[in-house]
Amino acid sequence: MVNVINDRTTDYAKKVVSGEILASRKNILSCERHLRDMNLKVLRYHFDVERANRVIKFVELLPVPKTMENMELKQFQCYIIGSLFGWVDDEGNRRFTKGYISMARKNGKTLLLAGIALYDLMLGQEPKFERTVGIVSNTQKQATLAWKDAKTQLEALRVKSKTAKQGTKITPSVYELTNTKDRSVIKAFSREADNLEGELISTGIIDEAHLLKDTKVYEGIRRGQTFMENPSLYYISTAGSDLTVPFFDEYNYITKVLEGEETNERYFVFCAEQDNENEMHNPETWIKANPLLEDENMKEVLISNLQDDISEGVAKGEINSLLIKSFNMWRQDSSETYIQLSDWQKGYTDSKLDIKGRDVYVGVDLSRSEDLTALSFIYPTSDESYHVDTHVFVGTKGSIQEKSKRDKINYEKLVNTDNATLTTAESGIIDPEQVVSWLIDFINDNQLNVKAICYDPWESSYFVTKMEKETDHPLIEVPQNYRNLGPILKQFRLDVFEKRIKHNNNPNLNLAISNAITKMDNNNNMILDKKINRQKIDALVSLVTGYSQAMNHKFDREFEKFILSDDFGF
C-alpha cells in the first residue's frame, strides 16, 4: 500500500489557482509559479514535501502567545512556511534566500515570524553551528515585541520537553534565546543601534519593514551574509504610507517578479492585499488582504471588526489609513499629499506617442549645481488630453552611485534610456550649455512645434540668453510663488483625476509624484514643498511649470469647426 503524503503547501496553491480560495492577484501569481515550477524538469530546484511538512509540524507545536493554546496552521500559513523550507536544490540548500510576506494587520504574522525564528534556532542546519537569527525592526521596542513572542513560545516548549529545556537558554537582559548544543541564538536588533555591524546573521527577519526609512538594516544583514552558503532574509510587514521607503521599492520589485518582468528564482512572495479600493465595500473579497478569514470559526468576528473599522474610518475621513492597515494597500497617508500615486498611475498607457512634428510645451527646472535639471514635455493630443514626459540631467558630484542610492533611482541604468543624461563636466556639476544643446537638438530632431518654453527665473540668465541667441522659440517666465503656481497646481491635479494626463511610467515623474507634498498660504493657495533634500520633485516642478501654458492650449475641435462652417446645414 502506497503511503500518500499530505502536501498542505501545494494544496493551498491549487485551491487559490482554481478559485476555491479567493486571493489577491499577486498571490494567484505566486501560487501559479509554485505549481508551474513543480512541473519544470529543467529547474534546478525541487519541492521536498516531507521537509516542508516537518517544519509545518514543528510550528504547530508552538502555542499562540495570546492564548497559549496550540493551533493548527491555516492553509495560507502552510503555504508560506512550506514554500520557504520545502523548496531546495539537490544538496538540500534552500531555494528561497529572500522572502516578502505581507498581509493586513491581525492575520497571524507573529506566529509565522516566531515559527521561522524558532525552527532555525532549534533544528536549523544553515550553518550547522552558531546560527544567528536576527529579528530586526525600526525600533528596539518593536524588535523586542517580536522577540518576546518567540521567548514565550520557547518557554512553553521548555515546559513540555526536558530535551528542549536542557538544550536552550533564555537571557532576557540582552534579548537572547540560545541553543546551547550548537551555540545558535535568536537576538533582537534595532536599526537605531550599530549592533548589526559585525554580526553574522544567518536568518534575518525584518519586522514591519515599511517603517524603515533607509537600506542600512538590509545592507548590514547582507554584509554579514557575504560568505554564507545559504543565508535567508525575510521581510514580514503590512503596507505603509510612505512611498519613499525601501520597502515600497521592494513592493514594486516583487510585482515585476510575479508579472514576469524580472527573473528571480530565489525570491518567495506572499502578498495578501485588495486588488482595488472598491473591494473595501465588498466583504466577500476581504480574504484577499485578510487570509485568516479562511478560518470559519473566526470569520464572523473578523468581518464584524472590519466593518466597525470601516464605519469609523469613513466617519473620521481616515480612508487611507483604513486601506493601509486593514486592506494592506500602499497609500500616501498625508493630508498634504499633492497627488496619490494610485491616481497618477490611472493615466498610464503602454502605447508610445509619435511626437514627430507635434505641438509641445516645454517646462524647465534648473538645478543646484550637483542636483538634477529637469526638462518636461507636454504634448496636446487629439482626444483633448496631454501626453507628458520628462528628461533629467544628473550631476555626478560626490559619485553617481551615492546619488542613485540617495534618490533611489538607478541613474547609471537610466542614462541608457531616453530618460536621463549624465553631465559631461569633469567637476560633476551640471553644465547648462549641455542642457541647452540637448534641448535644441531634441526639438530639431523631432521637428517639434514649440508653443512655449516655460522656466523659473531663478538662476536662469544663462539658459534664457543662450536660447534667445540660438532659437526663436517663445520663452515664458513662470515665477514659483503661491499666487502664480496655486491655480496651475490645482488645474493639473484636476486633469490627472479626470485622466487627461497620459504618461508611459517615466521613473523620474513617478518618483516626483511619490514625493510631492504641498503647503498652503492664508489664501488657500498651494505650492510644492521639498521637505528633505533626498525627496526629488524636480521632474514634477518642470512639468507643472510647462503646464502653466499647456493648460490653456486651444485644441483643434474639428466637429465644432464643421458646425460653424458654411458647409453645415439641414
Within-domain flag for 569: no
Give the span between the Cα atoms of 87 and 38, in whole angstroms: 10
pLDDT at 287 over 90: yes
Within-domain flag for 309: yes
378 by Cβ neighbours in 10 Å (0-12 / 13-18 / 19+) ranks as buried
Give the span between the Cα atoms of 157 and 60, in whole angstroms: 12
Q: How many C-beta atoms surround the C-beta of residue 494 within 10 A?
A: 12
The reported pLDDT for the residue numbered 534 is 44
Within-domain flag for 157: yes
| Owner of C-alpha cell 516537518 | 54
The C-alpha cell at 308 is 466597525
The C-alpha cell at 258 is 510575479
How is 504-554 classified by DSSP, letter by letter? ---HHHHHHHHH-EEEE-TTS-EEEE--STTS--HHHHHHHHHHHHHTT--
Contact between 453 and 364 (Cβ < 8 Å): yes
Give pTM, 2 decimals: 0.71
Within-domain flag for 563: no
- Which residue segment(s) compose the domain that 291 sits in? 279-329
The reported pLDDT for the residue numbered 562 is 41
pLDDT tens-digit profile of 301-345? 989 989 888 888 776 667 788 899 999 999 875 557 888 888 899
Pick from 329, 354, 369: which residue ends a domain?
A: 329
pLDDT at 535 over 70: no
The C-alpha cell at 310 is 470601516
Task: Name the nearest CA neighbour of 98 among 208, 231, 196.
Answer: 231
Residue type, 338: Y
Same domain, 493 and 442: yes
Among the ranges given (30-44, 183-197, 242-256, 343-357), the one the predictor scored with the smallest mean pLDDT: 183-197
The reported pLDDT for the residue numbered 568 is 47
Pick from 261, 278, 295: which residue ends a domain?
A: 278
- State how beta strands 386-394 and 420-422 pair: parallel
Give the span between the Cα atoms of 499 and 508, in whole angstroms: 19
The reported pLDDT for the residue numbered 560 is 45
Within-domain flag for 334: no
The reported pLDDT for the residue numbered 382 is 87
Same domain, 33 and 133: yes
For 431-460, letters b (16+ CB in 10 Å) and e give bbebbbeebeebbeeeebebbbbbbbeeeb
The reported pLDDT for the residue numbered 460 is 85
pLDDT at 570 over 70: no
The reported pLDDT for the residue numbered 128 is 87
The reported pLDDT for the residue numbered 327 is 95
Local confidence band at 145 (pLDDT 50, 70, 90 cut-offs): confident
Average pLDDT of the residues of the chain: 87
Give the span between the Cα atoms of 537 and 409, in whole angstroms: 13
Same domain, 270 and 304: no
Same domain, 305 and 244: no
Same domain, 160 and 261: yes
Pick from 255, 278, 301: which residue ends a domain?
A: 278
Same domain, 41 and 146: yes
Same domain, 139 and 252: yes
The C-alpha cell at 37 is 515550477
Among the ranges given (166-170, 339-343, 545-549), the one the predictor scored with the smallest mean pLDDT: 339-343
The reported pLDDT for the residue numbered 411 is 79
Give the span between the Cα atoms of 303 and 325, in whole angstroms: 14
Same domain, 168 and 228: yes
The reported pLDDT for the residue numbered 493 is 93
* 29 or 561: which leads in pLDDT: 29
Same domain, 16 and 103: yes
* 413 or 50: which leads in pLDDT: 50
* 368 or 354: which leads in pLDDT: 354
Task: Name the nearest CA neighbour of 541 among 387, 375, 420, 421.
Answer: 375
* 215 or 24: which leads in pLDDT: 24
The reported pLDDT for the residue numbered 567 is 56
The reported pLDDT for the residue numbered 417 is 81
The reported pLDDT for the residue numbered 36 is 95
H-helix or E-strand spanning residue 36: helix 25-38
Phi/psi of residue 522, nearest 5 degrees: -70, -15
Phi/psi class of residue 403: alpha, beta or left (left: φ > 0; alpha: ψ in -120 to 50)? alpha
Within-domain flag for 568: no
Within-domain flag for 564: no
Q: How confident is the model over 200-209, as a mean pLDDT?
A: 90
pLDDT at 459 over 90: no
Among the ranges given (116-130, 169-183, 376-390, 422-436), the one the predictor scored with the smallest mean pLDDT: 422-436
Question: What is the tally of structural domains in the chain?
Answer: 3
| Cβ contacts of 223 within 8 Å, gap of 6 or more | none
| CATH code, domain carrying 353 | 3.30.420.240
Local confidence band at 424 (pLDDT 50, 70, 90 cut-offs): confident
Same domain, 432 and 324: no
Contact between 389 and 377 (Cβ < 8 Å): yes
Within-domain flag for 488: yes
| CATH code, domain carrying 149 | 3.40.50.300
- State how beta strands 203-207 and 232-237 pair: parallel
Same domain, 300 and 269: no
Q: Which of 159-163, 224-228, 464-468 has the highest mean pLDDT?
A: 464-468
Same domain, 214 and 273: yes
The reported pLDDT for the residue numbered 124 is 86
* 404 or 436: which leads in pLDDT: 436
pLDDT tens-digit profile of 372-420? 899 999 999 988 999 999 999 988 776 777 777 666 677 777 778 888 8
Local confidence band at 530 (pLDDT 50, 70, 90 cut-offs): low
Local confidence band at 422 (pLDDT 50, 70, 90 cut-offs): confident
The whole-angstrom distance between residue 446's C-alpha and the CA centroid of its chain comes to 35
